[in-house]
Structure 1
């Protein structure tokens, strides 16, 4: 098959096809057909696998001195390179979009996560065409491309069946996608998409999403190489682990029994000692102080220590389980003879370890996003099931600080290396001469895309799919692969997240610590922030503030930050957090807009929260026109799941409404008698108390105009039900709001007929 891959201009993608030849011959048998045009990757171009772990910090894993066993990372580090000065953006969606485009996160309009987008440039969540993803560049240059696992790069209001699908994976450069669209998923009952189609994962005993996505990735890679062995592949393998919920089979958590009883302070100390011994950090590095809000381990009551130790065991088991699955992928690449010419970039964290679990951790992570405080006495009875399907857990912030050693801060804190510095391993036998070495040049997640292009001998395109491209902001790391002493080439980088902001310049680091991750309320004015200064070349953990010694440098770097912030659409800075999840507050697009009524039909299920009618903090009514038989059972309309939501359903012919408050409390209003078979209009009216967010109200159920039940809903969720549980008509797709009619789409299927359901809000 004819290819012009080495003769054409690859700076304008897609590569233009040549004009077809003209023929004068009448009979096709008298001439030969010309070779077909086919774009091939440059000769010898490597396969590429990007592995991105979620929410694991610099000091968590064994290759970087941490306590969590990661045999695959160890193996790849021994045969490749460890980067100990690599940085992310301090939050997931921004890091992912920076990774996939080679541009700063505000250039991709991802100043924070997709769900907290606003109406301002740099924060809209809508990725512009002028920053095409590297996957699309690879695909248009002859690569097969596949993405597996977590996405979290599509605007929240673009996740409905109506699309647009431009910013979904299979319209963003990937031939294949298998994973979840949002920021997190229940690992036991995930919301899975194959391309743009929602699919139910396999119903097998012991199912876990990480196992499933790994099977899918291996199957795709083997099939692709079988069918087209000369065509390289580009794979993005982004696990949901170890983001909350921390879900892992119990035997993996039990591997760490007792190992964290020593507490987070001792773990930090031991990690730093190990890091020095391994050469991961300089010998002179000081362990940064613990944040003042966090207790010393020795000051905690015994029951607190017991709870917190188990939280760490589950987290560690989750990480090791994930790493072992990645090992299965690496083994599969080796088994087909492709490991030597595959560049594997294993990034241990899209930010630092998450402190969003607060001071005691959470049985249900959604309590954080609803600003509801859990208590130790409520969590202790759940200890034996921690990490299982009946929990949606997060660990205490004390462990986040420990797993980010030697640094002080964590995820969300873009102005501390605990939030942004993540271990990275590069393994490429045919491209790297040395093994087991460390690279210490400053680098950033925006450097990955240009590195991939240079490794594949591809130019950065000037235009993609008809749109002139904004140049990549990153710097290729190829210069450092075979030269540990090469001068760093990425010498200027801004950081900003929720008001925490900083600037790196030629080894100096100026910063503002504006808010802690557990502070979700209104903060002090941005103008009152005080800038600090550190010599990052000599002060690895940022403990010696030199601002008073070099005030002129502080002023100059603060001014330079403002220049970079204006250049990349960082301004105006928005330090609001969970309240931005509400589009009415954030000013971002809302698919429902000002609509007060939504008509739904049977078969409409899998509707994510951000594309469904927002009924929180207001009165609502549900009117269902149905046909029932004797003993009709199943869901009429539901939103959310086991860890928060509401459901109107029938059991044994009786209409029932259940409100599940964060899995902590359930309020149920139920008819005492079955309704007669035949057509019926079932109405559930909820009269909200008002007077603020998260209040209660009175619920009434009527059938054909006659009241059959009423009761009190004590309190409601003010801000969010779930990250990926859905609204469904005629069934409850994942975990159930009320499990007295079963679990899953088959068991909860409405056994009667639903003609239509109308949801109306005040």
Structure 2
């Protein structure tokens, strides 16, 4: 009996097994084995073992995604920030200057990872703002399968490192389910964080689905850590199975706030931004023209009235703002350096030549979520609280370090999106959706150092990878019929700079900011601004639409709505058609208030329960998997047992240094501290240490009013007797933290109170029986 190798499969050559395997149906079906009539195994030859293999010559696929960086930030696209790894890949590949994202992180990522529009993925906004409406539920439908799962079922090894932000927040607990975690979505390996951001100095990270506790040190930084893990994984994969291609998703938390960078990288940019954002924008624009990144006739769009002029800032404000931008620039260059370590390892193991490498410089435009003056604590912005310079001046010297959680002023974001209007979240304009992208594949792309101007979108990456691997888009996966991908492959453009665009139409929508690209034109309307998360926007029906002929007007500088109302009406009809097809309607322009599941209408892990009892060892309970105590009447009752009056440590804490609350013992005395964004603290405690034995430590918060951010009465009791009371002036209205959860018996990552150190030093030295948190 002869055997054959066809399309990577080894199997017995029988009359029924001559055709190639059907890769459009996943999992790929194992061929029916031939019946054997030989009695003795010693006299028979075993058929080859069935094994799924990738097509011969299929390239490795690496997607590097940088967070919250603008089109005009990097040196490879004319910006002031040195990114030599990006430049190196651009000089040996092609860079795209008309590549687009969705204007926000979760939506861009789910579109990137699947090849389907973000609303089709039910990711109309970030996962933490999911609602009950189709297009916004936060749950990827089974008719959409990730690129990772498609490649895995076609013989690839798959690994994801860094930021994920695609798992429904109510599923981020030890109870799962885990099928929408990275390792349940096609990735064999995951090392990173699940939410939208993390503290780079003290991250809350997972290895697979288990909490990882990295060895923190004064030199620890998460971008370095994730790069180490990515290098280790790809090296081991290549060593053990060199014949097996790999797919790596390398998504840094950088340069999303908090802007955390080693000081030596920040100092590289000392004094380089003292001319301000208006001047920086002009300088970037001139470099972009000189480099050919933008057409010579491109106009530099004007500064919106909502963004202040640099010249109007005081000397003190300018000193603060310069440090903000120096920190961001150092953060970005440091990140590119870590990408360079990954590239160097791929070169060392001989895999770079046949690796299709996407370096996507931003999951959206640069972020203006820091507000007009920036913020010392980015969680304030996410709660709809606009920061003021006088809150930050004392932190200038430590900006970017572990005691800050910073974000820069909106002027820097606007300058980073040169030459376009607006910023992240503003999906109506290219400042929110236009990002630089470099595609590098020495074995598959002949062009070197060239620029491509075909109009493409992040949904086009997945089909490009499949085309390069010669793997078809699946029609069914695990028995479920698949929705055809919205993306189109981009490889046609790599060696054909003048090739006609294959993407003719693309809609955009985020928080009511919306637009439509169609055959060289854009119709759009800006509905809201990013830095005022609690603002009330005008009625959607009253929005004023703009019109741009972007094939001739690269930067959307000339609004033609009044001159060509017929074309505007035509495009508005196209938008409506695409919106209905992709479940964009009804448009939801709410933001900060949607952090509350009861308001948003999404599932709540507690299912409406008013009481939660937790036990020692339960740590890292994320905000959407823990009872909500923000601004509501609630009590805490902790049953403990101590041996002496020197008992120390945390009984229960939620979040950390940059906002949260904690119930703990210090020198045997019970305390409760409420930490308002690391700016104001209310600490109450007993004057007397507890006697050895069993005790019930009680706490009650009575709000002043039924509104987000309310202050209220803070009461501490021991064995039913009040021992301390104070007034908390105000509370965090919508969120404590994007990554730090609630911990019993310890305060992990960072410490809510300066009365103790985080991590193991904060461990409770007595015995905790149970802790009950209850809404009243």
Q: Same fold (TM over 0.5)?
A: yes
Report which stretch shifted further, 197-206 or 158-167: 197-206
In 2, the alpha carbon distance for the partners of 1:396 and 1:2 equals 63
Superposed counterparts of 1:330-409, under 5 Å: 330-409=343-422
Match of 2:716 in 1: 701
Match of 2:668 in 1: 653
Q: Secondary structure at the match of 1:221?
A: helix
2:120 is aligned with 1:107: yes
2:581 is aligned with 1:563: no
In 1, the alpha carbon distance for the partners of 2:240 and 2:531 equals 50
In 1, the alpha carbon distance for the partners of 2:352 and 2:385 equals 48
Match of 2:678 in 1: 663
Match of 2:551 in 1: 537
Q: Secondary structure at the match of 2:307?
A: coil
1:154 Cα offset (Å): 0.8
Could you report, residue by residue, the CA deviation over 1:540-587 in whole angstroms, capped at 9, with x for unpaired residues? 111101111211111111111111101110001111111111111111
Match of 2:14 in 1: none
In 2, the alpha carbon distance for the partners of 1:699 and 1:301 equals 39
Superposed counterparts of 1:153-192, under 5 Å: 153-192=166-205
Superposed counterparts of 1:58-207, under 5 Å: 58-207=71-220
Match of 2:625 in 1: 611
Superposed counterparts of 1:431-510, under 5 Å: 431-510=444-523
1:688 Cα offset (Å): 1.8
Match of 2:335 in 1: 322
2:607 is aligned with 1:590: no
Q: 2:67 aligns with which of 32, 40, 54?
A: 54
Is the 8 Å Cα contact of residues 3 and 38 (structure 1) preserved in structure 2? no
Q: Secondary structure at the match of 2:347?
A: helix
Is the 8 Å Cα contact of residues 631 and 706 (structure 2) preserved in structure 1? no
Q: 2:318 aligns with which of 278, 297, 305?
A: 305
In 1, the alpha carbon distance for the partners of 2:185 and 2:668 equals 47
TM-score by length of 1: 0.99
* Count of residues in Structure 1 that have an aligned counterpart in Structure 2: 761
Match of 2:766 in 1: 752
In 2, the alpha carbon distance for the partners of 1:375 and 1:438 equals 41
1:2 Cα offset (Å): 8.2
In 2, the alpha carbon distance for the partners of 1:299 and 1:663 equals 29
TM-score by length of 2: 0.97
In 2, the alpha carbon distance for the partners of 1:143 and 1:697 equals 56
In 1, the alpha carbon distance for the partners of 2:688 and 2:726 equals 16
Match of 1:526 in 2: 540
**Structure 1: gaps spanning 5 or more residues:** none
In 1, the alpha carbon distance for the partners of 2:316 and 2:531 equals 22
Q: Secondary structure at the match of 2:306?
A: coil
Residues 3 and 721 of structure 1: is their aligned pair in 2 closer, same or farther, counting only changes over 3 Å? farther
In 1, the alpha carbon distance for the partners of 2:154 and 2:6 equals 11
1:397 Cα offset (Å): 0.3
Report which stretch shifted further, 354-363 or 623-632: 623-632
In 1, the alpha carbon distance for the partners of 2:714 and 2:415 equals 46
1:649 Cα offset (Å): 0.7
In 2, the alpha carbon distance for the partners of 1:165 and 1:479 equals 37
1:25 Cα offset (Å): 4.5
In 2, the alpha carbon distance for the partners of 1:369 and 1:442 equals 32
Report which stretch shifted further, 592-601 or 52-61: 592-601
Is the 8 Å Cα contact of residues 92 and 440 (structure 2) preserved in structure 1? yes
Residues 663 and 126 of structure 1: is their aligned pair in 2 closer, same or farther, counting only changes over 3 Å? same
In 1, the alpha carbon distance for the partners of 2:583 and 2:614 equals 39
In 1, the alpha carbon distance for the partners of 2:167 and 2:88 equals 34
Q: Secondary structure at the match of 1:84?
A: strand
1:668 Cα offset (Å): 0.4
**Structure 2: gaps spanning 5 or more residues:** 9-19
Q: CA RMSD in A?
A: 1.2
In 1, the alpha carbon distance for the partners of 2:700 and 2:146 equals 47
In 2, the alpha carbon distance for the partners of 1:375 and 1:504 equals 37
Q: Secondary structure at the match of 1:99?
A: helix
In 2, the alpha carbon distance for the partners of 1:610 and 1:211 equals 29
In 2, the alpha carbon distance for the partners of 1:636 and 1:596 equals 20
1:530 Cα offset (Å): 1.5
1:691 Cα offset (Å): 4.3
Could you report, residue by residue, the CA deviation over 1:617-641 in whole angstroms, capped at 9, with x for unpaired residues? 1111111111112211111111010
Q: 1:635 aligns with which of 624, 642, 650?
A: 650
Is the 8 Å Cα contact of residues 654 and 673 (structure 1) preserved in structure 2? yes
1:34 Cα offset (Å): 2.3
Is the 8 Å Cα contact of residues 5 and 39 (structure 1) preserved in structure 2? no
In 1, the alpha carbon distance for the partners of 2:495 and 2:393 equals 51
Is the 8 Å Cα contact of residues 628 and 677 (structure 1) preserved in structure 2? yes
2:464 is aligned with 1:422: no
In 1, the alpha carbon distance for the partners of 2:485 and 2:601 equals 29
